[in-house]
Structure 1
Amino acid sequence: MLNVEKYLESGSRVLVLTGEIDASNSVELDAAISEVVQEGAKNILIDCSGLEYISSAGLGVFMSYLDEFEENNVKMVIFGLKDKVFQVFHILGLDQLISIRPTKEQALEG
Structure 2
Amino acid sequence: MLNIENIRQDGYSILHLSGEVDASNSVDLDAAIQEMLSQGVNRILVDGSKLEYISSAGLGVFMSYLEEFHEKGIQLVIFGLLEKVQQVFVILGLDKLITLKPNMEEALEAIL
State the TM-score bracket (shorter-chain normalisation): over 0.9
Corresponding residue number in structure 2 for 1:44? 44
Pairwise CA RMSD: 0.6
Does 1:92 pair with 2:105? no
Task: Using structure 2 for the length normalisation, give the TM-score.
Answer: 0.96
User: Equivalent residues in 2 for 1:6-85 (5 A)?
Assistant: 6-85=6-85
Task: Tell which deviates more after alignment, 53-62 or 8-17.
Answer: 8-17
- 1:46-87 Cα distance to aligned partner (Å, 9 max, x none): 000000000000000000000000000100000000000000
Q: What is the aligned length?
A: 110
| Structure 1 runs of 4+ with >4 Å offset | none
Which ranges of structure 1 fall in alignment gaps of 5 or more residues?
none
Aligned residue for 1:7, secondary structure, equals strand
Distance 1:9 1:49 in 2: 18
Aligned residue for 1:23, secondary structure, equals coil
Distance 2:19 2:77 in 1: 19
Task: Using structure 1 for the length normalisation, give the TM-score.
Answer: 0.98
Residue 81 of structure 1 aligns with an amino acid whose one-letter code is: L
Distance 1:45 1:34 in 2: 14
Q: CA deviation at 1:8?
A: 1.9
- 1:11-65 Cα distance to aligned partner (Å, 9 max, x none): 1110000000000000000000010011000100000000000000000000000
Q: CA deviation at 1:9?
A: 2.5
Aligned residue for 2:5, secondary structure, equals strand
| Identical counterparts, % of pairs | 61
Distance 2:16 2:89 in 1: 18
